[in-house]
Copies of this chain bind each other. A is one copy, B any other.
Amino acid sequence: MSKIRVGVLGATGAVGQRFAQLLANHPFFDLTVLAASDRSAGKPYREAANWILTEPMPARLAEMTVQEMSTELDCELVFSALPTSFANEWERKFAAAGYGVFSNAGTHRMDSDVPLILPEVNPDHLGLLERQRAERGWSRGFIVTNSNCTAMPMVMSLAPLMQFGPQAVIATSLQALSGAGYPGVPSLDAIDNVIPFIGESEEIKMNTESNKMLGRLNGQGVEPAGIKISAHCNRVPVSDGHTVTLSVSFKDKPSLGDIMEAWQTWEPLPQQLKLPSAPQPALVVRAEPNRPQPRLDRDAGGGMATVIGRLRPCEVLDVRFVCLAHNTIRGAAGGSVLNAELMLAQGRLEAFVAGVGAHVSA
């Protein structure tokens, strides 16, 4: 099978670099385009990107020329690491021009016709794409979004527990610095400190986006799961890896053993399909009393796994536990890459496999 040619939008930023890294040697996708703002366009990527990942920049990317933003890019799919304002301007243009858009931006996540996908959790929500195309008049293009980086480990932990009827969640996040991008948090605010605030909308997203992902596709819309979710979001001096402590109540009052079994026996679709970026297993449950820890657990499953620990009763709700995931891999770029792998495996990308430049005439 020939690979589908893909591009990264906003390729020089923190999440853009992760997309580039994850796509540089992908079995299904051929990374042909790195696009960014005017300031970077025309420069070789090694010069345009202030590479901040700890593994060296893949050699084949270093000499690629960064292209300016345009809907004439020579690829079929684009992975968007655009900041909100640019995402708002560009993502619809790309979809209208016939590109498949996999976005990490928050812009369209809550649009009623845009799938917000965690492949382990709600792969069926891709069914929204028919409505999306019909309503927006897009013949080939589409927009599919990935989860917010903080909601992600919580939703992954709750998904196998939906059978028990979760009703209320109080979540406290300890979020990594890389979640704020680059340059992001000034070092004088980060050293020897905690900031109990991420931004106006982070705690709201934890509620709305999580309920959308855990909701049901109903006709052509998603009915939110109806879980009350209250979040306390905090920044801590950790480079990568968001930790979330959770108290949860359930309608059906499962035992700790029921919950543990639900986690340990969970084998959702991406793992069954053995998608290249799907971690095996999806959830890593640690038995030690002091895990998960970001330094030791964020790279589990190549940064794509969710690590859970400390399951115990809660005096107020029913149970307490801790979950963790790598915020720029599984909680951002890797999430969209897995979304694309899933769509390809499901035959939803056939129009893009076929030919080159089809979008130009779309």
Contact string, A223-254, partner B, CB cutoff 8 A, digits 1/0? 00000111010101111000101010000000
* Contact with A174, one of B200, B230, B234 (Cβ below 8 angstroms): B234
A interface, CB within 8 angstroms of B: 14, 51-52, 54-56, 168-170, 172, 174, 177-178, 182-197, 200, 207, 228-230, 232, 234, 236-239, 243, 245, 247, 289-296, 299-300, 309-310, 314-317, 320, 322
Given A168-B316, A172-B245, A174-B236: A54 touches B296 (CB 8 Å cut-off): yes
Which residues of B have CB within 8 Å of A52? 188-189, 296
Which residues of B have CB within 8 Å of A230? 247, 314-317, 320
Given A174-B236, A230-B314, A320-B232: A245 touches B188 (CB 8 Å cut-off): no
Given A191-B237, A192-B294, A232-B322: A183 touches B186 (CB 8 Å cut-off): yes
The chain B residue with its CB closest to the CB of A322 is: B196
B245 and A196 contacting across the interface, CB-CB below 8 Å: yes
User: What 16 additional pairs, Cβ within 8 angstroms, besides A51-B296, A168-B316, A191-B192?
Assistant: A52-B188, A52-B189, A174-B234, A178-B188, A185-B186, A185-B187, A190-B191, A192-B237, A193-B296, A194-B236, A194-B294, A196-B243, A196-B245, A232-B322, A234-B243, A237-B237
* Contact with A295, one of B174, B193, B300, B316 (Cβ below 8 angstroms): B193
A195 and B293 contacting across the interface, CB-CB below 8 Å: yes
A194 and B55 contacting across the interface, CB-CB below 8 Å: no
Closest chain B CB from A225 CB (angstroms): 13
B174 and A194 contacting across the interface, CB-CB below 8 Å: yes
A-B contact list, 20 entries, CB within 8 Å:
A14-B188, A52-B189, A52-B296, A169-B316, A170-B170, A170-B247, A170-B316, A184-B188, A185-B186, A185-B188, A187-B237, A191-B238, A192-B238, A195-B290, A197-B310, A207-B315, A230-B316, A230-B317, A234-B243, A236-B236
Which residues of B have CB within 8 Å of A14? 188
Which residues of B have CB within 8 Å of A185? 186-188
Which residues of B have CB within 8 Å of A54? 295-296, 299
Closest chain B CB from A52 CB (angstroms): 6
Closest chain B CB from A94 CB (angstroms): 29
Given A184-B188, A236-B174, A315-B228: A290 touches B196 (CB 8 Å cut-off): yes
B317 and A170 contacting across the interface, CB-CB below 8 Å: yes
Which residues of B have CB within 8 Å of A172? 172, 232, 245
A239 and B192 contacting across the interface, CB-CB below 8 Å: yes
Which residues of B have CB within 8 Å of A309? 196
A55 and B299 contacting across the interface, CB-CB below 8 Å: yes
Given A54-B296, A236-B237, A316-B170: A182 touches B188 (CB 8 Å cut-off): yes
